[in-house]
Amino acid sequence: MMLVLLTALTLRILSNPVANACQKHLGERISSLSVNFYVTLLMSAACVIPACSVNWAVYDLKFWMYVFLAGLFCSLGTICLIKALKLGELSILGPLNSYKAVVGLISAFVLLGELPSLCGVAGIFLIVGGSLILISPQKSGKRDKSFWISIFLRVLALVFTGCEASILKKIILLSSPEISFILWCFSGALFGVLFIFLCGGSFDAPQKEDWKLYFLAAVCLGVMQFSTNIVFKNMEVGSALALFQLSSIVNLFLGFKIFHEGRMIRKLAGTIVMIIGSVMILVLG
């Protein structure tokens, strides 16, 4: 079981940044709504045969409400993230995932009245301080409007995916990691279609050269989500999310190697400070 858990953690840490890189490439030419739809459609197609062997009638209305909410928050978060990646840098937007710990701490205080510990408060300060190091502009000038829009969209995506993570944990406990994964794919594709129609968009036809990126994004996101389900089943959500922050280091590397993003030393320093802050909140807080 320990080997399975370690394998799932490793796959989760590596697959998410690669999927983000693919989404950034696609989002620079195609609308975020279309990218989200086609990737989730490919994952759904792979789940059709396994889904036919499941007795879906055993699940009650409450369970399907959880599925509905998880799909809604997942789609909103993914669309915001793809749009943010189009406007911003992967090496900045990836490490900002550490703010998910702050979102969880604040929501626990507002909704449940839980006061953060001293470690939790210290973690917030470290995350904020690390993010200031991360996003500080070069000496030559200020950040433009598109940069701040990308930051806002990234934070919005964190709020949505943070809500999704808690609901997915509930779905896994009521079913299994496999069933939760199948439903995650189907609900993502369903909401992908709905958002395209509701936003008055169109289905941007994928170019022939883009299909490799779509398949790679679908595989990486599928691996990411399935490995996440396995980790959530065997670990506390807080500890798991803390370990997931190691993806930020991979995001930095991919941003540097693929998109030629600069100032890596400063970004690495800010990222490490933010990871320490996340650990203090999620594990020690």
DSSP secondary structure, 141-159, as one string:
----HHHHHHHHHHHHHHH
**Residue 195 located in a structural domain:** yes
Reference 101, options 253, 205, 244; nearest CA is: 244
Note whether 80 and 153 are within 8 A (CB): yes
Note whether 193 and 11 are within 8 A (CB): no
Residues of the chain scoring pLDDT < 70: 104, 107-108, 110-114, 137-142, 200-203, 237-238, 285
Reading the block at residue 87, the tokens are 């406007």
Place of tokens 């991919």: 254
User: Is the torsion defined by CA of 173, 11, 43, 151 positive or negative?
Assistant: positive
**Residue 95 located in a structural domain:** yes
Q: What are phi and psi of 245, to 5 degrees?
A: -65, -20
Note whether 273 and 126 are within 8 A (CB): yes
Number of domains in the chain: 1
**Residue 207 located in a structural domain:** yes
Note whether 71 and 191 are within 8 A (CB): yes
**Alpha-carbon distance 221 to 40, whole Å?**
9
State residue 240's pLDDT score: 77
**Residue 214 located in a structural domain:** yes
Note whether 222 and 184 are within 8 A (CB): no
State residue 106's pLDDT score: 74
Reference 107, options 160, 180, 149, 169; nearest CA is: 160
One-letter amino acid of 47:
C
Note whether 215 and 258 are within 8 A (CB): no
**Residue 160 located in a structural domain:** yes
**Residue 1 located in a structural domain:** no
Place of tokens 């129609």: 197
Q: Is 43 helix (H, G, I), strand (E, B) or coil?
A: helix
- Whether the pTM exceeds 0.75: the reply is yes
Q: What is the span of the domain harbouring residue 141?
A: 26-284
State residue 119's pLDDT score: 84
**Residue 16 located in a structural domain:** no
**Alpha-carbon distance 180 to 178, whole Å?**
5
**Residue 211 located in a structural domain:** yes
